[in-house]
Amino acid sequence: MIKENNDFIILKDDKELVRGEIEPVLAHCPEQAYITLSERCIYDCKFCSVPKLQGKIKTLDEVVNIVEQAKKTGLMKAIAITSGVAESPEDEIERLVAVIRALKRYNVPIGVAAYPTRNSTKLLKEAGADELKYNVETMNRDIFDKVCKGLSRNFILDSLRDAVPVFGKNRVSSNFIIGLGETDECVREGVEHLAKMSVIPVLRPITIQPLRKDELEATRPSAERLLKLALMTREMIDKSGLRVNVSQTMCLTCTGCDITPYRDI
């Protein structure tokens, strides 16, 4: 990669492949204060390093300070809050509710990603969240049971379905990891299932964490596979009348980790 004036140019075989500007990162990603509230988790999903690290829980003051610094840049368009589960799903939702209430004064859209509870959708919406993400992680039941022990795939799917009438169309999404051993047909069926519920699927290529490499059977998907699955996802989204490009927060506007329909393809 070389720099030419304000552009960065990626070369392949000494020829220009692509050029563009590198966007400044506010907090984790461009144009958003994207904050992890609890950097620890009682669950032990095999693709995730958080349970191994058992980091800190940010205080409300620490969260507000991060948002304040992002606001001072003049570039902040949204706030996104995600979290592990430090003590219990119910306690985590309480913590998220308090944070969202404190951040509404910034008058930008707020997205939140969490593990659901019986009434989390109602509580998060009432607190002021604009968009919601409950991650199903994989739509292959056998893989889910193996890598997400202690979590309920059915409960996550039910919670996603029930969240759509509360948050509205194009405001509910779910990460779907690619590279855990699932087939393309499994991905297609899973994307179709989510899209029919008016939930936007976010296909996330697996990142094999060094702390987890001996516990996980996974293969980073090729660029060709990711592009094929992203094009298929766009087709499914079109059929369901969803529009990714109206989403305002979290991964669907960042696009840093994924090939995002309507933004990248």
Give the pLDDT band (50/70/90) at residue 129. very high
Q: Is 265 part of a structural domain of the chain?
A: no
Query: Rounded CA gap, 145 and 152, in Å?
Result: 8
State pTM to two decimals.
Answer: 0.92
- Rounded to whole angstroms, the Cα distance separating 132 from 113 reads 6
Whether the pLDDT of residue 263 is over 90: the answer is no
CATH number of the domain that residue 168 is part of:
3.20.20.70
Task: Examine the pLDDT at 226 and tell me if it is beyond 80.
Answer: yes
Token couple for 197: 């519920």
Sorting pLDDT into bands at 50, 70 and 90, what band is 58? Answer: very high
User: Is 236 inside any structural domain?
Assistant: yes
Residue 18 belongs to a domain: no
Segment 233-249, tens digit of pLDDT: 999 999 999 999 999 99
Of 43 and 252, which is predicted with more confidence? 43
Query: 250: helix, coil or strand?
Result: coil
Q: What is the mean pLDDT of residues 142-155?
A: 96
Residue 198 has pLDDT above 90, yes or no: yes
Q: Which helix (H) or strand (E) holds 96?
A: helix 89-103
**Would you say residue 205 lies in a domain?**
yes
Domain span at residue 100 reads 26-254
Q: Of residues 51 and 24, which shows the higher confidence score? A: 51
As a whole number, the mean pLDDT across the chain is 94
Q: Does the residue 3 lie in any domain?
A: no
Question: Considering the domain boundaries, does residue 2 fall inside one?
Answer: no
206 Cβ neighbours under 8 A, 6+ residues apart: 47, 177, 178, 179, 180, 218, 219, 220, 221
Lowest mean pLDDT among 63-67, 99-103, 154-158, 214-218: 214-218
Residue 11, domain member (yes or no): no
- Tens digit of each residue's pLDDT (9 = 90 or more) over 61-118: 999 999 999 999 999 999 999 999 999 999 999 999 999 999 999 999 999 999 999 9
Rounded CA-CA distance 106/96 in Å is 16
Within a domain: 187: yes
What tens digit of pLDDT does each residue of 30-46 get? 899 999 999 999 999 99
Name the amino acid, one letter, at 188: R
How many domains would you assign to the chain? 1
